[in-house]
Amino acid sequence: MPNEIIKIKGSRLFENIQETELTAMLNCLGAVTRSFQKSEFIFIEGSELKQIGVVIEGTVHMVKEDIWGEKTIFATMTSGEIFGESFVCGDYSSSAVSFQAATDCKILCLSFHRVLCSCNKSCVYHHKLIENMVTLIARKNVKLMEKMDILSKKSIRERVLTWLSQQVQINQSDKFESPLGRIELADYLCVDRSALTRELSRMKTDGLLDYDKNTFSMERLT
């Protein structure tokens, strides 16, 4: 755990908490780190969750798979973000989605009950930890609203343009590196990959965007 302190300190969950307090706090929270290889499932749909995950390294996808094996990516969590909190703190007996490592990952697992309930040691920074948790949950809700905005669009082009607009705002730049590859982007937009590839090509021809692999540019719109 000591070797991970610097990386863990960078998480939004531990903002404004002194490093000298962090080690004791992690012990109090029963924190453990676990490593996962790309495509490995961290939490599986239907399993009971008693812990939340904090991404220390890598990327995690929140995914939903139907009975025919079709997968949809609901959200993407990168370094410093949390996952699983909605199912631990809600009235759910099990997770309605799976969490899968999109890359090789290192995850910090925390007891959610210990995060929300101050122990008898009354950690000085525990109230700040709870505030940070609420902020992260709010940010996650915004992400899900962005996904709903995309799915409200009927055509592939409209969904792509909505996603592009969101990414430009997030990156505060007309040029950005997509966090999703083509297969993952198609899953996230809930469209066929081949149809997405064709539509991106048409949009490039129409001058709506430019791209090279996962690097997109909207500069041609200006």
Tokens of 70: 């079709």
Claim to verify: residue 143 and residue 185 sit in the same structural domain? no
Model pLDDT, residue 90 = 62
Are 10 and 77 in a shared domain?
yes
- Residues 171 and 136 grouped into a single domain: no
Position 187 pLDDT exceeds 80:
yes
For the cut 50, the answer to whether the pLDDT of residue 222 exceeds it is no
Partners of residue 43 on adjacent β-strands: 99
Helix locations, 31-125, DSSP H: 85-89, 112-116
166 and 94 co-located in one domain? no
Note whether 13 and 100 are same-domain residues.
yes
> Could you tell me if 129 and 85 are in contact, meaning their C-beta atoms sit under 8 angstroms apart?
no
> CATH number of the domain that 111 lies in?
2.60.120.10
Q: For the chain, what is the radius of gyration of the CA atoms?
A: 19
Q: Which two tokens stand for residue 81?
A: 């973000």
Residue 190's φ and ψ, nearest 5 degrees, are 60, 50
Look at residue 152 in the predicted model and tell me its pLDDT: 94
The model carries a pTM of 0.75
Q: Residue 16 corresponds to which tokens in the numbers above? A: 């404004």
Residues 95 and 171 reside in one and the same domain: no
| Same domain? 158 vs 143 | no
- What band does 221 get if pLDDT is binned at 50, 70 and 90? very low
How many domains, the chain?
Answer: 2
Residues 164 and 137 in one domain: no
Q: Which domain holds residue 131?
A: 2-147
The pLDDT-based confidence of 203 (bands split at 50, 70, 90) is: very high
pLDDT in tens, 28-47: 888 889 999 999 999 988 88
CATH classification at residue 157: 1.10.10.10
Query: How many Å apart are CA 22 and CA 6, to the nearest integer?
Result: 10
- DSSP, collapsed to helix, strand or coil, labels residue 214 as coil
Do 216 and 136 fall within a single domain?
Answer: no
Final residue of a domain: which of 122, 147, 172? 147
Indicate whether 193 and 133 sit together in one domain. Answer: no
What does the DSSP 8-state code read for residue 117? S
